[in-house]
């Protein structure tokens, strides 16, 4: 069975289990949404897939490319200009940046969920493993969805899958971009290529020639922890009975690092990935069994999530 068949079957089963009638997704004109749209078509059929094009101060070419994808797959599309909704918010003309860019993604997802509720559809996300691993998505924006069909595929594998699904060559060759501002590209914003990121994920570190890029990828993965995991729920009953410092690492597991002549900033190792840089002055959290390095000495965290030695 081809990979596309396996993923499509998975989508179909999830839709049936949820009692939904179909799926809806946003088409951006990029390769990820094109691949997900093609998988959706195979999973539930043309008549049960709704593609939305939702421009907000977007590059007109992205709309043209999104339309090309829909037409090549024979899928119905709804074009809805939600820019007036975006313009309601104050200061957007003078304070462009991450906040306004994320607002675009969240307004789009609000709109997509309206259609999902109206038609009893599930929302398909278009994030891939590479982007999810470093948190390169908007929380409750493009990161808010019901299913992630390609969430376990690196960008490299998405390209291969696109060829299998016969996505238009123009879309495959297009430079990946979130369309956050004019001329923006994913790789330019991240500071490394998808090839390098995928090599890191696959533990092929030799592909990455610049060591600072390895450190940057590690740092982004560490910072994205809150975006990739369920919302923390305070275990009120437990901490009230047993004492807060025993169960909440944020209160009793902070490691303080200082600069050293030999190693520079302190480092903390999580999950055997390697030494993750921690900017001086910040206090990362360690748990029992974590490996840490302070003053050039490898140590293990024991007991109540406290570091031994010079920490």
pLDDT for the residue numbered 300: 46
Q: How many CB atoms lie within 10 A of CB 11?
A: 20
Q: Which residues belong to CATH 3.40.50.620 in the chain?
A: 3-174
Confidence of residue 227 (pLDDT cuts 50, 70, 90): very high
Mean pLDDT of 250-262: 39
Euclidean distance between CA atoms 48 and 43, whole angstroms: 9
Q: What are phi and psi of 309, to 5 degrees?
A: 90, -150
pLDDT for the residue numbered 36: 98
**Helix%, strand%, coil% for the chain, nearest 5:** 45, 15, 40
Q: What are phi and psi of 231, to 5 degrees?
A: -60, 125
Q: Does pLDDT of 268 surpass 90?
A: no
Confidence of residue 271 (pLDDT cuts 50, 70, 90): very low
Higher pLDDT, 33 or 298: 33
pLDDT for the residue numbered 239: 63
Longest dimension (CA), the chain: 65
Task: Tell me, yes or no, if 32 is annotated catalytic.
Answer: yes
* Catalytic annotation, pick one of 32, 62, 65, 290: 32
Mean pLDDT of 88-101: 73
Task: Tell me, yes or no, if 131 is annotated catalytic.
Answer: yes
Q: How does pLDDT run across 42-56, given as a tens digit for each residue?
A: 999 999 999 999 999
pTM above 0.95, yes or no: no
Name the strand (E) or helix (H) holding 51.
strand 49-53
| Across 71-75, 136-140, 263-267, least confident range | 263-267
Euclidean distance between CA atoms 44 and 53, whole angstroms: 20
4: tokens are: 């596309």
Confidence of residue 189 (pLDDT cuts 50, 70, 90): confident
* Catalytic annotation, pick one of 65, 131, 142, 290: 131
Euclidean distance between CA atoms 7 and 36, whole angstroms: 10
Cα 269 from chain centre: 22
Mean pLDDT of 63-75: 96
Q: Does pLDDT of 12 surpass 60?
A: yes
Mean pLDDT of 92-106: 78
Architecture of domain 3-174: 3-Layer(aba) Sandwich (3.40)
For the chain, what is the mean pLDDT? 81
| Across 94-98, 100-104, 163-167, least confident range | 94-98
Confidence of residue 101 (pLDDT cuts 50, 70, 90): confident
Euclidean distance between CA atoms 283 and 262, whole angstroms: 20
pLDDT for the residue numbered 260: 35
Q: Does pLDDT of 223 surpass 60?
A: yes
In this structure, are residues 53 and 83 in contact, taking their beta carbons and an 8 Å threshold?
no
Euclidean distance between CA atoms 2 and 163, whole angstroms: 12
Mean pLDDT of 232-251: 61
Higher pLDDT, 244 or 70: 70
């Amino acid at each position: 069975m081809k990979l596309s068949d396996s993923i499509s079957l998975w989508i179909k089963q999830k839709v049936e289990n949820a009692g939904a009638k179909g799926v809806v997704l946003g088409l951006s004109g990029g390769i990820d949404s094109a691949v997900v749209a093609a998988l959706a078509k195979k999973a539930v059929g043309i008549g049960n897939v709704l593609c939305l094009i939702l421009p907000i101060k977007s590059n007109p070419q992205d709309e043209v490319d999104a339309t090309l994808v829909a037409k090549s797959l024979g899928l119905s599309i709804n074009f809805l200009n939600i820019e007036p909704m975006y313009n309601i918010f104050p200061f957007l003309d003078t304070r462009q940046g991450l906040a306004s860019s994320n607002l675009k993604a969240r307004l789009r997802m609000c709109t997509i969920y309206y259609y999902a509720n109206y038609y009893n559809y599930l929302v398909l996300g278009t994030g891939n493993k590479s982007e999810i691993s470093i948190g390169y998505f908007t929380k409750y924006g493009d990161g808010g969805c019901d299913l992630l069909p390609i969430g376990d595929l690196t960008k490299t594998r998405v390209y291969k899958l696109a060829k299998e699904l016969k996505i238009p060559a123009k879309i495959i060759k297009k430079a990946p971009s979130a369309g956050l501002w004019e001329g923006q590209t994913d790789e330019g914003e991240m500071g490394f290529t998808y090839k390098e990121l995928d090599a890191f994920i696959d533990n092929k570190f030799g592909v990455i020639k610049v060591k600072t890029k390895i450190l940057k990828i590690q740092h982004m993965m560490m910072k994205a922890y809150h975006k990739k995991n369920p919302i923390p729920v305070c275990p009120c009953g437990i901490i009230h009975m047993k004492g807060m410092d025993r169960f909440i690492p944020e209160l009793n597991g902070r490691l303080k690092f200082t600069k050293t002549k030999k190693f520079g900033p302190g480092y903390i190792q999580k999950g055997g990935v390697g030494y993750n840089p921690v900017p001086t002055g910040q206090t990362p959290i360690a748990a029992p069994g974590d490996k840490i390095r302070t003053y050039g000495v490898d140590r293990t965290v024991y007991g109540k999530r406290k570091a031994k030695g010079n920490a």
